[in-house]
Amino acid sequence: MSRRAATLTVASVLVLALALVGSLMPVPYVALMPGPTSNTLGVNDKGQPLIRIDGRQTYDDTGHLNFTTVTYRGGPGGRIDLFTALRGWLDGDTAIVPEETVFPKDESQKQVDEENTRQMQDSQESAEAAALHELKIPITTQVVVDGVQKGRPADGKLSPGDEVTALDGAKITSVAQITGTMAKRRIGDPVTLTIVRGGKESKQTLTTVADPTGKRPVVGIVLGDRYKFPFKIDISVGDIGGPSAGLMFSLAIVDKLTPGALTGGKFIAGTGTITPEGEVGPIGGIQQKMIAARRAGATVFLTPKDNCSDALSARPDGLRLVRADTLHGAVESINALTSGNGAVPACTK
């Protein structure tokens, strides 16, 4: 063999070896894939009702109202290799996205998982509130301290779990009410919060300081609305996290509390966050969720309006997209689908 041929052979082997090693190197990307889909009208993996209502008459429905999920591979604790990422790019069912879109740079994987769990819990409570609001069943709202910022005026005086019942003597019934009142204060003004902790009421007077922008007065607390329901609603989904099942939870609760079968026996799936007032919000991973729904047997997919454009470009065959702006609108759309009467809003770009 000539020296030239030998050199080319060695170089080729080195290039191949480097390519092989490079393909196995971890890369900062995450693979998103279709995840499990569960019927909110059915049972969970333990054979128990996924949504159980005690203290109120309920009604059965043999149809499906499935929420959908996305599963992932990768992340700071176990990055995928370049070969896996390339294979995912070629797979129509998988989305390869930058790691920071799933795991913010300033958060660990554990923190992201904990945040997803908290979002699921908040989503369930919002879904319950939205459903009862849709059915005009009265509920009571509480304002609760979710967190206290270190070094701020509330530090050491208020604690997570405290219920705030009044601001400067005026009764409080929502976080929005406090936000609106605080917007009228000036930095350095005192505010008096009436709180309930362990069944005992007390008052705390705090002097406001500037927020990080230097423009708004704050005392350093994170507040959340909590609700008292007239009967018990339990939602059991295991270790699934995130807020995107809110719409489907609300629909199932409405269905269970209303005579007759909302689905009319149809297999309906969907996704979307929900506010206590019934507003539907967008989610991530719409393509993978549609694939999961169609594979499970869904023929109708409820889609948040802000996800419609992406959904239309990747809609699986046999899956009808129905735009969902609000819980009330979603209920009306399902009624129109099952009765054959009325308009059903479709996704448009």
Strands 140-148 and 64-74: unpaired
Task: Identify the bridge partners of residue 320 per DSSP, sorted by sequence position.
Answer: 300
The yes-or-no answer on residue 174 being catalytic is no
| CA pair distance 89, 291, nearest whole angstrom | 16
Contact 298, 66 (CB under 8 A): yes
CA nearest neighbour of 343 among 326, 317, 322, 315: 322
Contact 178, 154 (CB under 8 A): no
DSSP state of 99: G
Helix (H, G, I), strand (E, B) or coil at 327: helix
| CA pair distance 345, 321, nearest whole angstrom | 9
* φ, ψ for residue 5, nearest 5 deg: -65, -40
Contacts of 236 (CB under 8 A, 6+ apart): 44, 46, 48, 49, 50, 51, 52
At 123, which amino acid appears? Answer: S
The yes-or-no answer on residue 289 being catalytic is yes
| CA pair distance 193, 177, nearest whole angstrom | 13
Contact 272, 293 (CB under 8 A): no
| CA pair distance 143, 33, nearest whole angstrom | 38
| Half-sphere exposure of residue 214: CA atoms within 13 angstroms, side-chain side | 0
Helix (H, G, I), strand (E, B) or coil at 208: coil
**Residue of 123, 244, 250, 333 marked active site:** 244
Tokens describing residue 256: 């269970």
**Residue of 38, 289, 305, 333 marked active site:** 289
Catalytic amino acids?
A: 244, 289
